[in-house]
Structure 1
Amino acid sequence: MFKTIVTLFRGAAAEAEDNLVDRNAVRILDQQIRDARAGLEQGRGALAVAIAQDKAEARRLGEVRRRIADLNDRTIEALRGGRDDLAGEAAGEIANLENDAATIAAAQATFAEEAGRLRTKLAAAERRFLEIERGRRITAAAETVNKLKSGFAAAAPGTALADAEKTLARLRHRQAHQDDVEVELEALDAEARSAATAEKLEAAGFGPTTRTTAEDVLARLQARAAQAA
């Protein structure tokens, strides 16, 4: 039982760690990229040192060989001049210089080999680094799109748009009703003005009468009375 509980806690811890890494994956990747960039800079520095040492040893080797060639010529001239003592002394110095040249040549070969090895490793590392940076840019773009999509979904635009359309429809309906009322009011005003003008003309005796007068009623009743008699 205890072993099962320990396993459960280890599983929960591993899951929490995975979740933490997932939530901060971009931040972790950025730091790893910075570390890799620093490593590349150190690699470039080491390569520069190896190349500089190789060139320095090459210069030293060239200088020693020049001195050996010069001493060889002078020693030959001493032998021809019968100065075996000087020639023997020069031969000893030439031997020392040749030993130095061999040592320098070995050192130069080491630095050249190291420079070549570092150059190969650095080139491969830079290719991998560029690929990682490219992937980081793609990932960053994808994260931005996901955030925009999440925000778009969280804002529930479908519901908001539907509500806005309903509100707009109500406003348009109310506006149309107001427009209809204004039109009817204007029509009533025009009709009232026309009726008032017609009444004035009718009162002045122009045109047929449209209102029943007391005289009209009395005349009608007299005619009915006469007809009845």
Structure 2
Amino acid sequence: MSLRKIWTALRGAVNEGTEAIVDSQSIRILDQELREAKSELKSCDENLTKIMAKRKLAENKVNSLQVDIESYSTHAIAASEKGDESLAIECAERVAELETQLQTEQGLLEGFLNSERSLKSNIAKAKTNVRRMEQQIDQIKATESVQKAQVAVSTRHMGANSKVKTALDSLERIKNKQQQRAAELEAAEELAADESGSSLEAKLKAAGIQPGGQVSGSDKLAQLLASREKA
């Protein structure tokens, strides 16, 4: 392998390691942001509770002022009907004061109501976003765990297949060596037979010719007759 290929492989491994670290840190960052968001929402709920309490107090104040205004208005009319103008005017002045206070308290109540509505809406949206983020983080973590398990199983499976293939390759090499050895032994036996002449005898025997064997009767008779004629 060339130095360039080695460097490329090392650089790829480093990049993958860096990405793995960044991904791991990203999940930790999201977890931290999620915890901070939940803490902020808790504070928002507490603030909303305080505003709702103030709104209730303002409502009670407005209701109380309205009751007092109605009461003093009735007193003013009653005093005027009885001819007690001084008392009627005093009651009417009290009604005017109460109406001024009522106007102020209604303004405060309206502000509390607006703040309450706005906070409720924003908190609801924030809680929805937090739940969505929490769901996505849980899904990412679950998917990561499943994929790690799949990689582990796949790696072990590939390793087992590799071991089986190695064993089969070894068996095949052993068979080839045994066949080669058997062929060499057969060749050695043929060479030994050629050197001792047994190979030639085997060939003659296979051809039906038996050198050095017993002479047949007819051949022997012919030999005898030939010898007599020569004599």
TM-score surpassing 0.5?
Answer: yes
Which AA in structure 2 matches 1:159? G
Which residue of 2 is the match for residue 42 of structure 1?
Answer: 43
Which AA in structure 2 matches 1:126? K
Looking at structure 1, the residues matched to 27 and 146 of structure 2 have their Cα atoms a distance apart, in angstroms, of 14
- What does the per-residue CA deviation read over 1:162-200, in whole Å, with 9 as the maximum and x for residues that have no partner? 647959xx9xxxxxxxxxxxxxxxxxxxxxxxxxxxxxx
Which AA in structure 2 matches 1:29? L
Compared CA separation, residues 59 and 17, structure 1 to 2 (3 A): farther
Compared CA separation, residues 71 and 29, structure 1 to 2 (3 A): same
Which AA in structure 2 matches 1:44? D
Cα distance, 1:153 vs structure 2: 4.8
Structure 1, unmatched stretches of 5+, are: 1-15, 171-229
Which residue of 2 is the match for residue 218 of structure 1?
Answer: none
Give the 3-state SS of the residue equivalent to 1:24 in structure 2. helix
Which residue of 2 is the match for residue 111 of structure 1?
Answer: 112
Which residue of 2 is the match for residue 102 of structure 1?
Answer: 103
Looking at structure 2, the residues matched to 99 and 105 of structure 1 have their Cα atoms a distance apart, in angstroms, of 10
Structure 2, unmatched stretches of 5+, are: 1-16, 172-231
Give the 3-state SS of the residue equivalent to 2:53 in structure 1. helix
Give the 3-state SS of the residue equivalent to 1:88 in structure 2. helix
Looking at structure 2, the residues matched to 99 and 39 of structure 1 have their Cα atoms a distance apart, in angstroms, of 39
Aligned length: 152
Which AA in structure 1 matches 2:69? I
The answer as to 2:94 corresponding to 1:93 is yes
- What does the per-residue CA deviation read over 1:9-66, in whole Å, with 9 as the maximum and x for residues that have no partner? xxxxxxx998754331211111111011111112222222222221211111001110
Looking at structure 2, the residues matched to 21 and 116 of structure 1 have their Cα atoms a distance apart, in angstroms, of 41
Structure showing greater relative contact order (alpha-carbon pairs closer than 8 Å, 6 or more residues apart): 1
* Identical amino acids, percent of aligned pairs: 23
RMSD, matched Cα: 2.6
The answer as to 2:125 corresponding to 1:124 is yes
TM-score by length of 1: 0.59
Cα distance, 1:150 vs structure 2: 3.8
Compared CA separation, residues 17 and 102, structure 1 to 2 (3 A): farther
Looking at structure 2, the residues matched to 123 and 159 of structure 1 have their Cα atoms a distance apart, in angstroms, of 52
The answer as to 2:146 corresponding to 1:145 is yes
Cα distance, 1:160 vs structure 2: 3.1
Runs of 4+ with deviation above 4 angstroms = 16-20, 164-167
TM-score by length of 2: 0.59
